[in-house]
Amino acid sequence: MQSEIDHKSGWLSAEGILDARAQLPILYIEALPVRTDSHGRVLQIGLLLRAMPDGSISRSLVSGRVLHGELVRDALLRHLEKDLGAMALPVLPSSTVPIAVSEYFPDESISGLHDPRQHAVALSYLVSVKGDCAPSQASLDLAWLTPSEAISGQTASEMTGGQHKVLITLLAHVGAI
Q: Number of structural domains, the chain?
A: 1
Poorest-confidence range of 3-7, 95-99, 125-129, 173-177?
A: 3-7
Instruction: Work out the average pLDDT over 98-103.
Output: 97
Poorest-confidence range of 1-10, 54-63, 146-155?
A: 1-10
Neighbouring C-beta atoms of residue 161, cutoff 10 Å: 21
Instruction: Indicate if the pLDDT at residue 85 is higher than 50.
Output: yes
pLDDT tens string 37-65: 999 999 999 999 988 777 788 999 999 99
Q: What is the mean pLDDT of the chain?
A: 91
∠ CA 51-174-26, nearest 5°, is 45
CATH code of residue 103: 3.90.79.10
Neighbouring C-beta atoms of residue 104, cutoff 10 Å: 27
pLDDT given at position 136: 81
Measured in degrees and rounded to the nearest 5, phi and psi for residue 91 equal: -105, 100
CA neighbours within 13 Å on the CB side: how many for 131?
13
In the chain, count of helices (H) and strands (E)?
Answer: 5, 10
Asked if residue 92 belongs to a domain, the reply is yes
Where does the pLDDT of residue 1 fall: very low under 50, low under 70, confident under 90, or very high at 90 and above?
very low
CA distance 108 to 164: 14
Where does the pLDDT of residue 19 fall: very low under 50, low under 70, confident under 90, or very high at 90 and above?
confident
Poorest-confidence range of 50-59, 99-108, 165-174?
A: 50-59
Please report the DSSP string for 19-79 in residue order. Answer: HHHHHS-EEEEEEEEEEE-TT--EEEEEEEEEE-TTS-EEEE-EEEEPPTT--HHHHHHHH
pLDDT given at position 52: 74
Poorest-confidence range of 23-27, 80-84, 91-95?
A: 23-27
Pairing of strands 120-129, 26-36: parallel
Amino acid at 104: Y
Domain that holds residue 126: 9-173
Instruction: Work out the average pLDDT over 15-29.
Output: 87
Stated pTM of the model? 0.88
Asked if residue 4 belongs to a domain, the reply is no
Per-residue buried b or exposed e for 3-38, using 16+ beta carbons within 10 Å of the residue's own CB: eeeeeeeeebeeebbeeebeeeebbbbbbbbbebee
**% the chain with pLDDT above 90:** 76
Instruction: Indicate if the pLDDT at residue 176 is higher than 80.
Output: yes
Instruction: Indicate if the pLDDT at residue 3 is higher than 50.
Output: no
Asked if residue 2 belongs to a domain, the reply is no
Asked if residue 3 belongs to a domain, the reply is no
